[in-house]
Structure 1
């Protein structure tokens, strides 16, 4: 995978509409855009699709965090991303859990839902350094959702459990998590290398 350096960070950033991104949200956006840009170049795909956003939303992020312009470079934004039904359900779950219903939160909900469709741990597919960083981001942006994950279930698993329960379904056949033979699949440690560290290592 091609290497793209992380842009320098500088505390809170002011989006084009005048509001401020928190340092945590700004850092998460930088990381996921860097990762999505690397994927887009390697796969020949538009970056909007890798982020789950419209062209307008990608442009708004670049306006809010202008240091990312060099990361995206001449990548095609592509057509507006249209989520499939599964992704749309995760996006809705996140959107209704937002602490702030502004555009910044809406974009992060869309990004997180799109990245949840990728195969690795969600923190890895968001470009974050560890699960703790993802949990802190969810606590900031989606506090009600974070509060419901009382047993630190893996976030992708938790999203789907929430969706199933909302529809009146039971996610698994075990009578309780403690009695489940696949307990580790939902609650096991989320170890591994960050995707950005992997990109840098592969480039050396």
Structure 2
């Protein structure tokens, strides 16, 4: 694992260096986004394209946790158009959450932003924190919930945006488990799984005492 000193070093305009690149319809949509990027070499434009394009393709934009206004602003920062329709985005609204899940997302976003790198745009960091926190509500490995190719993709994403938090994962825990643990430590709560963890195939491996 590369820690804070190499934050962002693994990103390229084509995606995340060394990672399996998108294929099929996903790849075509990512290319479409990057053709409209203000800076074709921007790792952030490439990363947001990889995170958002598949949700757009499947009509799942509301799962990201970003409001339509936040998506419009993100498009304006990284792409030549701020018109969501130009990217084939349907109208959407944020998926409604229970109070417990809303509180989890709010608290995890606050924790992530506490470690945000000064090298990234603060608005991008807020969007990334929301996307990650909402992904922790879903029942799979974090890399799958984000639509990435593997754990290393998540590591490199976190190294770019929240490098000091990555450096704290000295036990190399799986990222969703680690984030839930750090959140519990920060609030004085008893450490436990993220809301989405119980539905994961490896739940018993990560939390053997919870079974």
Quote the Cα distance in structure 2 between the aligned partners of 1:156 and 1:94.
13
User: Could you tell me which residue of structure 2 aligns to residue 95 of structure 1?
Assistant: 113
CA contact (8 A) 1:53 1:110 kept: yes
Q: Alpha-carbon deviations, 1:96-116, whole Å to 9, x = none?
A: 110136111111111111122
Structure 1, unpaired ranges of 5+: 173-181, 187-204
CA shift at 1:134, angstroms?
A: 0.9
Selected match of 1:104 from 124, 146, 152: 124
Q: 1:131 to 1:97 in 2, by over 3 A?
A: same
User: Could you tell me which residue of structure 1 aligns to residue 163 of structure 2?
Assistant: 143
CA shift at 1:165, angstroms?
A: 1.4
User: Could you tell me which residue of structure 2 aligns to residue 177 of structure 1?
Assistant: none
CA shift at 1:33, angstroms?
A: 0.7
Q: 1:142 to 1:79 in 2, by over 3 A?
A: closer
Selected match of 1:7 from 30, 43, 52: 30
Quote the Cα distance in structure 2 between the aligned partners of 1:85 and 1:112.
14
Quote the Cα distance in structure 2 between the aligned partners of 1:74 and 1:6.
11
Structure 2, unpaired ranges of 5+: 1-24, 193-202
Quote the Cα distance in structure 1 between the aligned partners of 2:107 and 2:172.
21
Quote the Cα distance in structure 1 between the aligned partners of 2:153 and 2:116.
18
Quote the Cα distance in structure 2 between the aligned partners of 1:71 and 1:133.
28
CA contact (8 A) 2:34 2:45 kept: no
TM-score, scaled to structure 2: 0.64
1:185 is aligned to 2:200:
no
Q: 1:74 to 1:161 in 2, by over 3 A?
A: closer
